[in-house]
Amino acid sequence: MEQVSTNRSHGGTQGVYTHQSATTGTPMTFSVFVPDHEPGQRLPVLWYLSGLTCTHANVTEKGEYRAACARAGVIFIAPDTSPRGDDVPDDAAYDFGKGAGFYVDATQEPWSAQFRMRSYIEQELPALVAQHFPVDMDRQGITGHSMGGHGALTIGLRNPDRFRSVSAFSPIVSPLNCPWGNKALTGYLGPDKAAWREYDACALIEDGARLPALLVDQGEADNFLHEQLKTGLLVMACRKAGIPATIRMHPGYDHSYYFISSFMADHVAWHAERLKA
């Protein structure tokens, strides 16, 4: 692991790091904010998964999480959304290929060799982080935005023993039922929709996955709400399954980081309460 940069901020250290990933076969970059803490102390960690076209840098520069994380004593980690490099396959569209890994392990060529973001997020990166940062791996939460909200929900639902808390901003709640999801999952996983269900939050809940609680914030002025995000499907799925879900709709807010940063401190505090020792 190599350090790209570090900066002091809000009583903590914001770092950016890169490493050669065995999972994707490419260099991968991620950011980590570590609040000041006592020597030997281990802190809870909140993972943040970004949306389409983003890298680690979007939330790192615009997410406004550091003050809240410093107050709560929570480490904040933001990985990239896909493998990168000249030899990595890509697509001309913004919603497939580089920057659009959808947090799946692809099974279709030419994507299957490197587009393995599920394994990277669930296995390789946590192991690397545990070696180099003062994280308490028994106290993990996960959140994300849009495609990253889809990632946070599905990873949290598949790993309830690992993540004590799960939240999302403007998540794609059912890739089985939206154009973004149909395009990405067909390309990465093939046409058999049965193979898609483990990457669909509503389908996972329907198939028996559960969370102790859920927090979701969604802007009512989000231009992707009705065609792509379909928050109402998650409301219905949680209600039917008896999952305690706080799903807040905000008039006037859109899909941007102006929206995310407005409610980021709420999410950090919500996770911190559930990640107490």
Residues annotated as catalytic are 146, 222, 255
Q: Sign of torsion, CA 61 56 68 168?
A: positive
144/176 Cα distance (integer angstroms)? 19
180/202 Cα distance (integer angstroms)? 15
232/257 Cα distance (integer angstroms)? 22
120/127 Cα distance (integer angstroms)? 10
Dihedral angle of Cα 100, 101, 107, 112, to the nearest 10 degrees: 100
Cis status of the peptide bond prior to 171, with omega within 30 of 0? no
207/189 Cα distance (integer angstroms)? 19
Q: What is the DSSP letter of 97?
A: B
The helix/strand/coil state of 159 is coil
